[in-house]
A and B are shown apart, each in its own frame.
Chain A
Amino acid sequence: MDSAPYILKKYVYRTLGFSLAILLVIGLVSYYIDPYNFFGVNKLGVYISCEREYKAQQIYKYSHNALLIGNSRSAMINVSQLKQHRFFNAACGGEKHSEIYHFLKKHLSNENVVIIGISIGEMDPQNPSKDFFNEKKWKQISLYLFNIKNIEFCVKTLAKYLKKAPRSVAIDGSGNQVGWMQHFDTENVTIFNEKVNQIATEWSHYKFHENSLNYLKKIKNLLESRHIKLITYIEPVCEPIMAIVKKSDGYQEWQKWKVAVKQIFPDIVDLSESAYGKREYFFRIDPCHFRSETGIAFLNNEVIR
């Protein structure tokens, strides 16, 4: 008959051994499916929102000579329909100037042109983002491999692959706007107006801060040092929002911001008050995001030269 301490010791060893075995299987499955394409070994496609991880790997796989970068508004533009160059869409949702700088610094190779979409009033955050695109650390790798959310994403990836569902990001980095359309493209004037008022109220109180565009200067210097042509544009603002902001102090602050940005990029294309701001060029209940077709139109007609 085994003694009590021996039984308990056996119990602890068995528990640890069994746990390690489960973790090992989970780690191997996570690596094989690689739902974020974090290791660049994803074979089933990316079906979840993980632009930063995916694009940092995919940029090396997709043959291109031009880059479009910016925030979610640029991320949704289907760059395969842009003229003159073969583009890779490196834009990510909520991407700040500091992140754009880090991405370009690390991942630019021999592109001829980089186009940056800048939202009106956009400034460096008080705490700039860390260099997300830097080398992977052990902590990041282990958190990725052994993560309960990642298991969920592995299952989703497998299910969507088997269902042949559309990928969230195309191989050229263009975002798939189908999901966005499902959520934000149903006609509902009340919600649209509510959102317009919400955004316009926020922007009406906008204050421009000096020295909040340091990363834009860094980006300019970086591209100049690498002899890569840089084109910048200020994105169109949805007309109903512009109409409200125009009557507020926020509009004057926007003008100050524009003057400062034009000092950095004298050739910047300003589309903020252009015809591309028409309501029908935006999603039906999302006055913040214009449609991919709008982006393609203004990039081909006004920006790419």
Chain B
Amino acid sequence: MAIGLGRLFGIRLPANFNSPYNSLNIIEFWRRWHMTLSRFLRDYIYISLGGNRKGKSRRYINLLLTMLIGGIWHGAGWTFVLWGTYHGILLALNHALTGYDILKNKVTVPLSKTITFLLVVFGWVLFRAADLDSASKMLSAMVGFGFPATNATTLVKPEKWAIVGGLLFFVWVFPNTQQLFKNYRLILNDDYEKNSINWTPKMRWVLITSLLLVTGVLSLSNVSEFLYYQF
């Protein structure tokens, strides 16, 4: 919305998200999620701390510190401290394992994306929870502990998995808006990969856009707060 509104006034804004759930690993996730903040943290904290110039151990410490500060940047609370540390550990582990790349094929790519997605989702519990107690309850419930059987089964309803699976498939297979509108140069520093599906003012896009618009109008009564707006 911000990009579109800016474009109406002739301002080209940088993209902030680039299909983060399409990431093969945590390093890639942070290149696709909240990209402006990630760049700020990299340029002004990670590199200022020495980056990767002072040996492996120091690099991992710098990563941890950078993500810890990134966590606190999101809010002054223990949940954010833990969330930042969690991502710092994941990033350090990811960098440590970088030399052991596995072959990319039809099995390993979806598997890598799924593992990355699940790791990020676990982190979101810390990010979203009101306090550590609720976070630990939710995390326990996610792995089948801590709640009575009836509630636990509600959390893992097959249709919920089907919805998540369907949405993930959509994210993995179809291009995002930046890619769809690549020919129209919506984004500042647009260097996204080419895509076979492009938006054109043709009838098929009239139908697709109309359906999206109608779905939006029909969902006006189901407004859920956009949690990330404050960041």
Does B207 contact A151, Cβ atoms closer than 8 Å? no
How many Å lie between the Cα of A151 and that of B213 in the bound state?
Answer: 16
Q: Which of A8, A10, A15, A191 contacts B210 (CB 8 A)?
A: A15
Q: Which residue of A lies closest to B149 (CB)?
A: A191
Within 8 A of A (CB), among B208-231: 209-211, 213-215, 217-222
Binds B, one of A16-24, A89-97, A293-301: A16-24
Asked whether B170 is an interface residue with its Cβ less than 8 Å from the other chain, the reply is no
Within 8 A of B (CB), among A16-58: 18-19, 22-23, 26
How many A-B contacts are there with CB distance less than 8 Å? 46
B-binding residues in A (CB < 8 A): 7-8, 10-11, 14-15, 18-19, 22-23, 26, 143, 146-149, 151, 191, 194
Q: Which residue of B lies closest to A143 (CB)?
A: B221
Asked whether B150 is an interface residue with its Cβ less than 8 Å from the other chain, the reply is yes
B168-211 vs A, CB cutoff 8 Å, 1 = contact: the mask equals 00000000000000000000000000000000010101110111
Question: What are 23 of the A-B contact pairs (CB < 8 Å)?
Answer: A7-B201, A8-B201, A10-B201, A11-B205, A14-B203, A14-B206, A15-B209, A19-B213, A19-B214, A22-B210, A22-B211, A22-B214, A23-B217, A146-B218, A147-B218, A147-B222, A148-B215, A148-B218, A149-B221, A149-B222, A151-B218, A191-B148, A191-B149
How many Å lie between the Cα of A7 and that of B221 in the bound state?
Answer: 33
How many Å lie between the Cα of A11 and that of B213 in the bound state?
Answer: 14
Q: Which residue of B lies closest to A147 (CB)?
A: B221
If A19-B214, A23-B214, A191-B150 touch, whether A11 touches B219 (CB-CB below 8 Å) is no
CB distance from A35 to the nearest CB of B (A): 15
Q: Which of B148, B207, B209, B220 contacts A143 (CB 8 A)?
A: B220
CB distance from A195 to the nearest CB of B (A): 9
Looking at B205, B207, B218, the one whose CB has the most chain A CB atoms below 10 A away is B218
If A18-B207, A149-B221, A194-B148 touch, whether A11 touches B214 (CB-CB below 8 Å) is no
CB distance from A166 to the nearest CB of B (A): 23
How many Å lie between the Cα of A18 and that of B209 in the bound state?
Answer: 10
Q: For B214, list chain A residues within 8 Å (CB).
A: 19, 22-23, 26
Q: Which of B150, B201, B206, B215 contacts A18 (CB 8 A)?
A: B206
Q: For B150, list chain A residues within 8 Å (CB).
A: 191
Closest 8 CB pairs of A and B: A11-B201, A148-B218, A18-B210, A19-B210, A143-B221, A19-B213, A14-B206, A22-B214
CB distance from B66 to the nearest CB of A (A): 41
How many Å lie between the Cα of A143 and that of B218 in the bound state?
Answer: 8
Q: For B210, list chain A residues within 8 Å (CB).
A: 15, 18-19, 22
Q: For B217, list chain A residues within 8 Å (CB).
A: 19, 23, 146
How many Å lie between the Cα of A61 and that of B213 in the bound state?
Answer: 38
How many Å lie between the Cα of A10 and that of B205 in the bound state?
Answer: 12
How many Å lie between the Cα of A19 and that of B220 in the bound state?
Answer: 15
If A7-B201, A18-B210, A19-B210 touch, whether A148 touches B149 (CB-CB below 8 Å) is no
Q: Which residue of B lies closest to A145 (CB)?
A: B218
How many Å lie between the Cα of A303 and that of B12 in the bound state?
Answer: 73
How many Å lie between the Cα of A194 and that of B149 in the bound state?
Answer: 11
Q: For A15, list chain B residues within 8 Å (CB).
A: 206, 209-210, 213
How many Å lie between the Cα of A143 and that of B219 in the bound state?
Answer: 9
